Structure 1
Amino acid sequence: MESNAIIQKLNRLETLIIGTSKQIFTVDDVVNYTGFSKSYVYKLVHNNILPYSKPNNRTLFFTKTEIDEWLMKNKSKSISQIEQEAVSYTNSTKK
């Protein structure tokens, strides 16, 4: 039982290492890269939320850079970043 778990973890690591070096992803690659379920990826595609390409009207492809950009949308700022922006804004508006 333990050896099966180790083998599964090693296979997952291998998939992640190989997958992150690719620039073009399939649905399975996106699932492995993001940790999202396959059904959730298809839901995002269906709702045109996740950028994709479908050149042969059958297979979905994604670019790693677009996936990364999409994942980092709506980024939340830390309190220290907000404070720094407030100080910069206050300093720039004082005359």
Structure 2
Amino acid sequence: MSEQENVVELLRDIKGLLSHTKKVMNVDDLAIYTGLSKSKIYKLTQLKLIPTGRNPNIRQKFFDKETIDAWLMGEPNLSDEYLEQQFNKQLLKNKK
């Protein structure tokens, strides 16, 4: 590995560490922070199973880091089967 590649890798590591100091995160930040996929985050958001910001004037989803930390420690059921069941229930509810 060249010295330039080492520097680039080090800068990526630093950028990742700095992203964990943000108070407010977007979906990309949250995916990196939690290790959850973006699709799982969107499903959780759709089902209102993950705490999000409440600003109706902003379409993009934002997440408060402290609230997410507390939510993660609450041991929510994030299994794919559970999320699919909840998502399907919501779809059926919306069709009626």
Check whether TM > 0.5: yes
Q: In structure 2, do the counterparts of structure 1 residues 10 and 51 end up closer, same or farther at CA, with 3 Å as the change threshold?
A: same
Alignment coverage as a number of residue pairs: 73
1:55-77 Cα distance to aligned partner (Å, 9 max, x none): 224111100001100110039xx
- What's 1:15 paired with? 15
SS of corresponding position for 1:50: coil
- What's 1:79 paired with? none
In the alignment, is residue 58 of structure 1 matched against residue 62 of structure 2?
A: no
Structure 2: stretches of 5+ with no match in the other structure: 77-96
- Equivalence map 1:74-85=2 (5 Å): 74=75
Structure 1: stretches of 5+ with no match in the other structure: 76-95
Runs of 4+ in 1 over 6 A off after TM superposition: none
| TM superposition score normalised by structure 2 | 0.62
CA radius of gyration, larger in? 1
The more displaced of 54-63 and 39-48 is 54-63
| TM superposition score normalised by structure 1 | 0.63
